[in-house]
Amino acid sequence: MKTLKKLFCLFIFSIGVITFGQNTDQKHKLSFRSFSITPIEVYFNSNSGGGAITGDLSFSSGKNIFTFSGSIGEEFVIWGTSDTFQQLNILYGREFKLKDWLFFETHAGVGLFLYNSNGNHFTGVGIPVVAKLRFKTGKKFSLGFKIQDNINSAYNIFSVGILLQWNWN
């Protein structure tokens, strides 16, 4: 667990050095970009599937997007105990404007992944990969679809859901 905390701190420090080390003028300063939530999300792994919810905060510097994301999910079970997972991630991404009203985002990063199955607990490092397809419905609001995969040594989690995003820039 200490190694995981050290890796996480090193990654956060590295993002800060890279971001602020490249700033040569004020137009590339780090600023709040967006808040999004995926309230209706379905996940799958090799054994089962269930429901999940994801929230994230994004910051931008020029064309670079830095996101802090968290997810929780629970297996669909009628009888017995259900498997659960949590993940906390730091992601780097880019946005591609397809039309004035249509945007595509890609993100990848590293994070903490926790999985509980029948009393067996797994804690480890995960590699999240995210894609968003957003339809701008107003000045500050977008509606879309989000696809996420968390690659880790316990149970790879693949999820898809409805995205609600509020944009500040």
Distance CA 110, CA 152 (A): 10
CATH assignment of 2-13+53-167? 2.40.160.20
Under 8 Å between Cβ of 73 and 84: yes
Per-residue pLDDT band for 104 (boundaries 50, 70, 90) equals very high
Higher pLDDT among residues 12 and 91, named by residue: 91
How many residues appear in the chain? 169
pLDDT value of residue 17: 52
Has residue 118 got a pLDDT over 80?
Answer: yes
Element (H, E) at 86: strand 84-99
Tell me the average pLDDT of the chain: 88
Alpha carbons 162 and 169: distance in angstroms, whole number: 22
> 10 Å Cβ neighbour count for 111?
22
Chain centre distance of CA 1: 22
Whole-model pTM? 0.81
